[in-house]
Amino acid sequence: MPKLDIHLFPALDDNYGVLIHDAGANVTASIDAPDAKTVEKALRDTGWSLTHILVTHHHADHTQGITALKSTYGCRVIGPKGEAEKIPGIDEALAEGDVYRFGNFDVEVLETPGHTLGHITLYLPAAKIAFCGDTVFPLGCGRVFEGTMDQMWSSVAKIGALPADTALYCGHEYTLSNARFAETVETGNGALKDYIATAKTKRERGEPTVPTTVKAELAANPFLRADRPELAAAIGMAGASAAEVFGEIRRRKDNF
């Protein structure tokens, strides 16, 4: 089994950058490019040389480093077909069901629209990791800027349907803020209480709460639990559809 090295680092105010490195094939990818200088520092820290940038969506805090990194490293830029015209320097555009070969690893493409219309999640089954950009966060989900609530629910549920032990890497550290809202949605959820206690300890130590896992989010994240009867009941919407419950809690969070 080939080994994938992963280096997570903070960027900008509250973004995360990630480098993945397949030593066997000598390839390194930056997942998104929040800031060229911070990615370059991460490359110096690891000693890896950038060969790819894999882009989840077009927002500036995920793409503004691409042009400078591509001119320095000549790396290949791969991103979502649905918003390819908004990704600077894109070489290859990927859509639902495509499998991109990165070194010795298959990268499966899941379209996860809602936050943006073309947003994709990159899933590496052999490494048991997924890069879900701004779709799912620990105890939260991205704002629905371009798509509909129904689309965003389908996207969140698609990530929730990955194997339970899949590690989820997302674009931001929002966990304690998300926790304050999640507590108001499902007050009786013991798994949520435990999750929050662990997250607080990590943040007090200056550690990231990313990655999380599908299993942990299914147990505690209200947005991934919109299809649970107990969550619908907790917000006074027993019998409503999962998409309706999801839309209601997303709107509550927007106004929280």
Quick check: 30 and 54 in contact, CB under 8 A? Answer: yes
Q: Which of 134, 150, 165, 227 is catalytic?
A: 134
Our finding on whether 58 is near Zn ion (CB under 5 A) is no
Q: Is 66 exposed, middle or buried (0-12, 13-18, 19+ CB in 10 A)?
A: buried
59 binds Zn ion (CB under 5 A): yes
Q: Is 83 in the site for Zn ion (CB under 5 A)?
A: no
Concerning whether 61 is annotated as a catalytic residue, the answer is yes
Residue 59, CA distances (Å) to 25, 76, 124, 163, 237 in order: 30, 19, 23, 28, 33
Minimum distance of Zn ion from residue 115's CB (angstroms): 6
- Return the closest-CA partner of residue 172 out of 210, 229, 215, 220: 210
As measured in angstroms, the least distance from the Cβ of 42 to Zn ion is 20
57 flagged as catalytic: yes
At which residue do the structure tokens 């591509």 appear? 70
Binding string, residues 88-127; x marks residues near Zn ion by CB under 5 A: ----------------------------------------
Number of residues written out for the chain: 256
Which residue in 22, 32, 134, 173 binds Zn ion (CB under 5 A)? 134
Q: How far is the CB of 87 from Zn ion (least distance, A)?
A: 13
Site residues (CB under 5 A) for Zn ion? 59, 134
